[in-house]
Structure 1
Amino acid sequence: MKRATRSKHQTQPEHEIHIWTERERRKKMRNMFSNLHSLLPHLPPKADKSTIVDEAISYIRSLQRSLHLLQTRKIDKEARGASAASASASASGCANLEFEPIVGSGAAIFNQSHEQGHVNLEGMGVEPWTSQPTLCPAGGSYHFQTWASPNVVLSVCGEDAHIAVMSTPPKQGLLSAIIYILEKHKLDVVTAHISSHNCRSMYMIHAHVNCGEEYLESSTSCEEAFKSAIGEL
């Protein structure tokens, strides 16, 4: 009898500890579910635990998709910024000039091209070219020749040319006017890049001309073809 009483007294503390541990565990679980529920404001106040868990999983997956999308946009934006910086650096390397604002409206220039059949780029600040033309070498080596005005730089190498135009402030329709001139002179636009910063726009155009028989027979060089297009004299 004494042994049974002693054994009963020994098991009571263990049972109480078990009850207390279980109570604390449930309390901790309630707090965790409450905190999780507070992070999902679209759920009703009396949502059950299963609903809270399912909605939390869906919400986490949605956040992961949003994060992936934002990271992709960030990478694309950085790539475009690097491309614009590279184009600006190429323009600066052609000539060390202080670019001045383009005179006249790009839209007005483009309209004039339709009315008169040509676009006069003198209004953009293009000065007369002074270099002597050289015929395109047949299989020979090419070299760069550069002409510049306050806001236009032309660098010609054989059948290709890089044209840099600075516009301050940006002029609406200016790019269309430039492309119209190039196409009128049968010059192909390979690439065109536009970079803007504050109130300034830089147009970088890679153009190509096929210096074939028609140029050689008319004694017209590739350089003259590009200069005629830019000068529009």
Structure 2
Amino acid sequence: HYHKHHQAVCQFRANRQNPALSLFEGLQVIPTPHVGRAVIATQEFAAQALVLIEPPALFFNARLGYLELFDAFLRLSQKEQAQVLDMQGGPLDSRRQFLVQGEYQSFQHNRRLAAQYLTLENAKHLLSIVNTNAHRFPLEEGGGTVRDHYTGLFPKASLVEHSCHPNCSIVIRQGLLYYIAERKIQPLERISISYQGCIYEQPRHFRQAFLHENKAFWCQCTRCLSWDECNPIACPHCTDG
């Protein structure tokens, strides 16, 4: 079992080093107000077309705790570390602040030399990125058996914004993240995914509350700013339905 596990992890690392397993053509990163950056299409994408492929810049087994995250970060090159730290992270609550500080102290104690290259502030920022921008994916063996789950950070994909009516869906296979067009995407259209599940079954206030609590923003997508089709009966006691 360990041999198969080690093989799969080595494959993830090989994917990360293989430029042929990365696709960001026909896309452009642009600055935007409020959210900082977004990704737009510079060409037309047909429905079901591959829009983006990206291997994880960093991946770790979250079941093993924050020390695994810190070790994974320090295995990256300086350029890769900078790419990861450039990702957006949300605020940490007091409980997580306390936990990461304790783990960091343990990290300092056990890995004195390595700790010189990872400050407490960067450790906190790493955790905030994981909390808001990470993807969880299975470690599969032969026959599709799931051996374990890993958490990955994908810097380019993290720039894609949320929408409650997204034009892309996400698939992760063998540690590679794929964005697939849900419908035709026109040039200059922003690429979007959903940061939560069951978006077409939830009324606006549920979607917005989830995103505010878990992703640290209030959704202002076109669907959230229009009539709430999941809550068609107006409430007589309030003004927002």
TM-score by length of 1: 0.25
Question: Greater share of helix residues, 1 or 2?
Answer: 1
TM-score by length of 2: 0.24
Question: Greater share of strand residues, 1 or 2?
Answer: 2
Q: Which has the larger radius of gyration?
A: 1
Taking CA–CA contacts closer than 8 Å with sequence separation of 6 or more, which of the two structures ends up with the larger relative contact order? 2
